[in-house]
Structure 1
Amino acid sequence: MSLLSLEKVSFSYPESSEKKLDDINLELASGSFNVLFGKSGSGKTTLLRQLKPALSPFGKKSGLIRFDGRPLDELNLREQTEKIGFVMQNPDNQIVTDKVWHELAFGLESLGLDQATIRLRVAEMASYFGIQSWFLKDVQELSGGQKQLLNLASIMALHPRLLILDEPTSQLDPIAAGNFLETVAKINREIGTTILISEHRLQEVLPMADQVFLMEKSKIIVNGKPRDVGRMLKETKNDLFIAMPAPMKIYGSCDQGTDYPLTVGEGRSWLEKQTINTEEKTVEVNIPKTPPMIEVKDLWFRYQRTAPDVIKDLSFKVPAGSFYSIVGGNGTGKSTALSLISRIRQPHRGKIKLNGRPLNKFSEDELYHQFLGVLPQNPQSLFVKKTVLDDLFEITDGKQEKKSAAYPLKMSKEAAVAGIVELVHLEQLLDKHPYDLSGGEQQRLALAKVLLLRPKILLLDEPTKGLDDFFKQELGEILLKLKLQGVTILMVSHDVEFVAEFSDVCGLFFDGSLVTTKPAKDFFAGNSFYTTAANRMARGYFPNAVTVKEVIECLNQTQIS
């Protein structure tokens, strides 16, 4: 039985002739698990928000959306709130109270339920989601994973029939993301809640899906079961096959069959049936042997005088011209460490040097306009103008000339902006307000502003958040080109696949400090959880291969029958 159906739904934003949704037809069976994916800016978030009228953007809409057989517009606000839950990409955007237990009770109190019912549902959700140990905490003390779990629990306390999730794991570390998605699958499996989730990280979520929808250029171009969608993308040579799980990509490069493996376990089973020469080619790791561009020594930091230390005796060096990445769980202090290196915060003990000079010896102008480029976790903090183009010119301290040509960028500053626009694919977005862009498009705009500074050191905090796999690959190539030009890159990321493919060195952050630092290939080859799906799948045959590309190369060099 269908719980939700869309019939020829189209939508465009005010004063725009471009359709952000174009003739969308979609049907979700009651109790099903559905995945929506596509490139950044393809219309996924716009589509999801149409399904919750309270969140639907203003604009011109046509077509019909039915929920449980009724036109969606006929549901009153109370029915929407109770029956349709929505989890946003950024957990901080959805939390409205100061305490965990307040947040769990807030929606129920808003509906006017009696105290006995509220206490029962809050206790039930806290127990089901394992929140008991932090039930009385302040919300600001929670990690990103805990905040997102709290959002989910708060919504599930309302007993919705449809749960919509928009990139819910984009800010979570791999372990927290896996736990969160397992919880969503458990809700679907045990409670029968219908799930519609938008995701770029398909490794974990695709095997859970009953149905998959691919959006491209405001249309749904493919839908079906996960294996069928993967096979169709491979057969049609669609570039979004790059977004499929690692086992599927490895199988697709080596086998002409149709039984594509979805999980790491299925990928191992397929490998066991092959005849493989396990003699592995050694992967050479070339780390620049240069003086340190960033030097951190004996660093300590706490947010308040009486609070516990967040950074504890942190020491490490980043060689000039290298790509150094830091991974670790939510709340371990990674972003705080970047804020200290960028002088946004001051340590209460320890030293930081950039290119051999103490950090406090740099003037503001020299540090932020000649030396450092900082991409924060929240890209919106960089946006100050009303259009993308004006925002780009703002960072150059210059204004564009008013000319009648469609793309009048000819002077030096204009040429720089034109080049960066082409580099990060912002051509179609120049007249839009930065806040109207999708999460991935905002990330690209923020990166463009930072690169326009031409920094010697690039500090990146979760740069792949919200990006589709297609642009992630391009971002990696951009960063490698910058490295060849002598730029030193220090990146904090939860995206282990990206780190494994492009970084020189990787360190694991735990409890306020780096507990280990190794060449990236060695780091991921030796871990059980902080490693890639490709390595988990093939480590029995190629233990040093950590990326899909490396596993495929190893397979191509062996005898397979």
Structure 2
Amino acid sequence: MEIYHIQNVSFTFPMQEKKALEGINLTIQGGEFITIGGKSGSGKSTLLRQVKPILSPHGKREGTLTYRGRPIEDVDQRTQASDIGFVLQNPDNGIVTDKVWHELAFGLESLGLDQQTIRLRVAEMASFFGIQTWFHKSVTELSGGQKQLLNLASIMAMHPSVLLLDEPTSQLDPIAAADFIETLRKINQELGTTIILTEHRLEEVLPVSDRFIVMDEGRVIVDGTPREAGEALWCMGHPMFTAMPSSMQIYAGVTKDTPFPVTVKEGRQWLDRYLEDKSNVREEVTLNSQTLNNTNQLPALRFKDVWFKYEKNGVNIIKDLSFEVAEGQLYCLVGGNGTGKTTALSLAGGLYHPYRGKVLIGGKNILSMQAKELFTNNIAYLPQNPQHLFVKKTVEQDLYEILSRSSMSKEEKARKITAMAEFLELEPLFAMHPYDLSGGEQQRAALAKVLLLEPRILLLDEPTKGLDSFFKAKLASYLKQLNANGVTILMVSHDIEFCAKYGDVCALFFNGSITTSGAAKPFFAGNHFYTTAANRMVRHVWREGVTVEDVIALCKNTR
């Protein structure tokens, strides 16, 4: 049965000449699992919000959009609320109550259902999603993965026919993200719910998708099965191919035959066939191990026996944490949601202070440093939520605001901002309100504000969240350029592939402290679950194959 029919739909934001969507033609059948991908700002989220009008941004829409054969404008708000569920990118933005059980019941209460029906549905959803063990908890006690699962469960309690999700895994660690996608697959397969989601992290979601729609500059350029879409992007030479699953990228880098593998399993089966007649397959390659610290100088940043808790009688969030970050190093903290990574980053930035132990900047205790000394050309911090940095009505004004206390002339500020905006592709967004930007565009605007400070130590919390693969590579080159100029970078990230490819040192955070650390590639090669998809695909042959580029080189070196 046809759920949505989108015919020649275009959309333009107020005071914008360029259309955010142009000539979109799609038909979506009941029970389909559809993933929408594309570069940041390509129109993914704008399209997703068109199919639930009460969430559509203000602007002018043209064309025809129907839901179950009715014009979308004629669908009343109650039907939209109950039939069309929407899960937001930030888990905190979707939660409206203080307790887990009340969050599950809130939507049903808003629909005016009777108490017996509410109790039944809440019990069903708690069982289906495995929420029983934290059913009575406060939502503030939940991890990011649990919050997103709660958002999903509270929407599914209303029995929607369609589930819309806007980059739902962007703030989840790799294991939580995989679990979340598996839950979506279960909902789609067992309940028949139509699922439409936008996503940059395609490794886990494409294997469970029926269709992959790729957008570029507000238009649909590819629409087909994940395998067909990957092959089409490869033939087009489109940069979006670098976002496709690792197995597909490795296959395309080694051979030009079809069909492309989509999953790790298919990639491993192809690799075994490819290596059948090769004689030097098992030759081990020694992984390069970077020196973790330069013993001839003080580390730029050092944690020494640090303990921290938010409340006097609360639990310890950071427990006996000790590590060092050398000058000019890109140090990556990875680990599950709720393990203390962001808290550690806040301690490094002086936002919180330990009750025991020391945080040292260039050998000096952060507690003895004045705010001016700490933040003037010394430390800059990018928070997990980029909106925390926006204080003005336009992107351009926000960029000038960060330099308001600088002694530079107006012309120097203009040159500096223009150069940064050109690098981060922000110039077309100058006149827009920061809150009107897409998630990826907000991330770039926040990065611009932080980088304009030219700090000696850069603290980044999920800097690649919402960024497309093309821009990630561009950002990495800039960060490595900063490293070469002596800038030290401490980064918290769930982006395993980015850390493995560009990090100098990686550390696994668990239960308030670092469990293990090491040079990036040996670190991930030694992990079984917390590693890249490329490594999971080839570790039975080459344990040292960590990145897509590593595996392609190893394949080509076989005889």
Partner secondary structure for residue 447 of structure 1: helix
Deviations 1:377-409 (A, max 9, x none): 0111111111111111111116999xxxxxxx9
Indicate how the Cα distance of structure 1 residues 289 and 307 shifts in structure 2: closer, same or farther if over 3 A, else same: closer
For 1:223, the equivalent position in structure 2 comes to 223
Pick from 267, 285, 288 the counterpart of residue 284 of structure 1. 288
Q: Which residue of 1 aligns with 2:195?
A: 195
Structure 2 vs 1, CA of residues 180 and 501 (structure 1 numbering), >3 Å: closer, same or farther? Answer: same
Structure 2 counterpart of 1:356, from 338, 363, 375: 363
1:73 CA displacement: 1.2
Q: CA deviation at 1:289?
A: 3.9
Moved more, 279-288 or 243-252: 279-288
Deviations 1:417-447 (A, max 9, x none): 1111111111211111111111001111111
Match of 1:250 in 2: 250
Structure 1 segment 169-208 matched on structure 2, within 5 A:
169-208=169-208
| Distance apart, 1:285 and its partner CA | 3.0
Q: Is the 8 A contact 2:43 2:215 kept in 1?
A: yes
Alignment partner, residue 152 of structure 2: 152
C-alpha distance in 2 between matches for 1:285 and 1:388: 41
Q: Is this contact kept in 2: 1:393–1:399, CA < 8 A?
A: no
Query: Matches of 1:517 and 1:261 in 2, distance apart?
Result: 32
Task: Report the Cα offset of residue 288 of structure 1.
Answer: 5.9
Distance 1:400 1:505, change over 3 A: closer
Give me the TM-score of the superposition, normalised by structure 2: 0.97
Contact 2:21–2:43 (8 Å) recurs in 1: yes
Residues paired across the two proteins, number: 552
2:11 and 2:19 in contact (8 A); partners too: yes
Give the ranges of 4+ consecutive aligned residues of structure 1 lying more than 4 Å apart after TM superposition: 398-401
CA distance in 2, matches of 1:156, 1:212: 23
* SS state at 2:301 partner: strand
1:194 is displaced (CA, Å) by 0.4
Partner of 2:374: 367
Contact 1:287 1:322 in 2 (8 A): no
Counterpart position of 1:404: none
Q: Secondary structure at the match of 2:146?
A: helix
Structure 1 unaligned residues grouped into runs of 5+: 402-408
- Residue deviations 1:20-60 (CA, integer Å, cap 9, x gap): 11111111111111010000001111111111111111111
Deviation by residue 1:495-521 (Cα, 9 ceiling, x = unmatched) = 100000001111111111111111111
Q: Which runs of 5+ in 2 are unaligned?
A: none
Q: Give the match's secondary structure for 1:336.
A: helix
Identity %: 56
2:42 is matched with which residue?
Answer: 42
Is it true that 1:320 corresponds to 2:327 in the alignment? yes
Which residue does the alignment assign to 1:406? none
Which residue, out of 288, 298, 310, partners 1:303? 310
Contact kept? 1:36, 1:212, Cα under 8 Å: yes
Amino acid at match of 2:327: A
* 1:94 and 2:115 aligned: no
Give, in whole Å, the separation in 2 of the partners of 1:340 and 1:223: 46
Q: Contact 1:400–1:414 at 8 Å: present in 2 too?
A: no
Inter-partner Cα distance in structure 2 for 1:446 and 1:254: 38
What letter corresponds to residue 72 of structure 1 in structure 2? I
Once the two structures are superposed, residues 49-81 of structure 1 have per-residue CA deviations (whole angstroms, 9 ceiling, x without a partner) of: 111111111111111111111111111111111
8 Å CA contact 2:292, 2:518 repeated in 1: no
- Counterpart-to-counterpart distance in 1, 2:406 and 2:478: 26
> After superposition, where does 1:80-479 map in structure 2 within 5 Å?
80-275=80-275, 276=278, 277-278=280-281, 279-287=283-291, 289-290=293-294, 291-397=298-404, 411-479=411-479
Q: CA deviation at 1:489?
A: 0.7
The AA in structure 2 aligned to 1:341 is: A
Distance 1:322-1:287 versus aligned 2 partners, 3 A rule: farther
Is the Cα contact below 8 Å between 1:320 and 1:486 reproduced in 2? yes
Amino acid in structure 2 at the alignment position of 1:366: E
Give the letter aligned to residue 262 of structure 1: V
